[in-house]
Amino acid sequence: METKKDDAAQAGQTPGVPGPAGPQQPARPPAERDTSYLTANLGSKPFTDAQQKILQDKTDPEDLDILPTGEVYLTQVKYRMRLNKAFGAGGWALCPIGKPILQSGVVMREYAFYVDGRFIAEAIGECEYQESNKRMTYAQALEGAKSNALVRCCKDIGIAAECWDKRFVTQFQKDHCVRVWRDRQKYDKPQWRRKDAEPWYDEQGVVEDRPRKAGSQLPERPDTGRQAAPATGVTAKDIGFGEDPRTEEQRKADAQYNAPGNRDAQGNRKGPGRIPSDAEQAAGYRKMTAKKESSCMGGSHPGMCVIKPGDTIWFKSGYGSYCDAKHRP
């Protein structure tokens, strides 16, 4: 087979030095690109029995961790260690395909996974990237996308396959993990961690495995003494957690105010809203920091009804948000 150097010499060019520009070739869509070099030896030879045993061995529970949202995972370092043990350092590689793409705060790049020079799998890796986050550079986000692609490719060869087994995950959570409450101004739901992990800095207590109260969608949060007292003597206990303390007239007024047609060209609600009662506040309103821009449910004082990220608000699911000005409950 002729080398690129031979081709350059035949064309009258100095090897390594670009020649005159030829006719411009039309761009080829990704769907039409030549991928025969990837699939030439696909599935042509199985791994040895010894290699398969290393790859498919059950993962030590001590090596597994859990995300706050409950997903069980094996760190990318452990994947690399398993690959090195099975194939040796240098016996496997990830090859980038195409250029990285930054879209909606996520860096994505496609990679091909090779073992002993043979194509095994391909996957698109991704990693969140925000330019305003000074703790993560673009290069670090690219490295994160590469590791994510490696994890996805390794599913095809059986490494840590139990992490995608629902029954295994449920049993692992029961044996090695615990759900805890954290700062209620930031987290609406309990967060997972390993039992032997250090508690979160804002941890408020362990979620107990007991029947939930009627009408409640979440386990009962322990009383930490951090909840603000209601404005009057009405308490959540008096009206029942999760119950709707509004009158029929109040519910109709809220429904009309929240109707899709009750918005201006900018998407803000039109007209005055209704200030929640003390009973509604006691029924579950909580003081928190807004994460995105929205409209205050009060809506009667011009210029102050747009809630910005970082503003202090009163919020309850199903009722909406109120700014911490004249409209707070």
Written as tens digits, the pLDDT of the chain (329 aa) is 444 444 444 444 444 444 444 444 444 444 455 666 666 666 678 899 999 999 999 999 999 999 999 999 999 999 999 999 999 999 999 999 989 999 889 999 999 999 998 899 999 999 999 888 888 899 999 999 999 999 999 999 999 999 999 999 999 999 999 999 888 778 888 999 999 988 888 888 888 655 455 555 555 555 544 443 334 343 333 333 344 566 777 777 767 766 666 666 655 656 666 666 656 555 555 556 666 666 665 544 444 456 677 776 666 544 456 665 445 44
Residue pointed to by tokens 């929640």 = 276
CB 161 within 8 A of CB 126: no
d(CA 213, CA 284): 14
3-class state of residue 267 by DSSP: coil
CB atoms within 10 A of CB 156: 13
User: What pLDDT does residue 124 have?
Assistant: 94
Residue pointed to by tokens 């043990």 = 85
d(CA 101, CA 224): 45
d(CA 62, CA 166): 19
Q: Residue 220, by phi and psi: left (phi above 0), alpha (psi -120 to 50) or beta? A: beta
**Which residues 6+ apart lie within 8 Å of 57 measured at CB?**
none
Cβ-count burial 114-149 (b if 16+ within 10 Å, e if not):
bbeeebbbbbebbbebeeeeeeeeeeebbbbbbbbb
| Bridge partners (DSSP) listed for residue 127 | 107
User: What pLDDT does residue 151 have?
Assistant: 95
d(CA 230, CA 283): 10
Q: What are phi and psi of 260, to 5 degrees?
A: -55, -30
**CATH no., domain 37-164:** 3.30.390.80
**Residue ranges of the chain assigned to CATH 3.30.390.80:** 37-164
Tokens (6 digits) for 108: 């994505």
d(CA 173, CA 177): 5
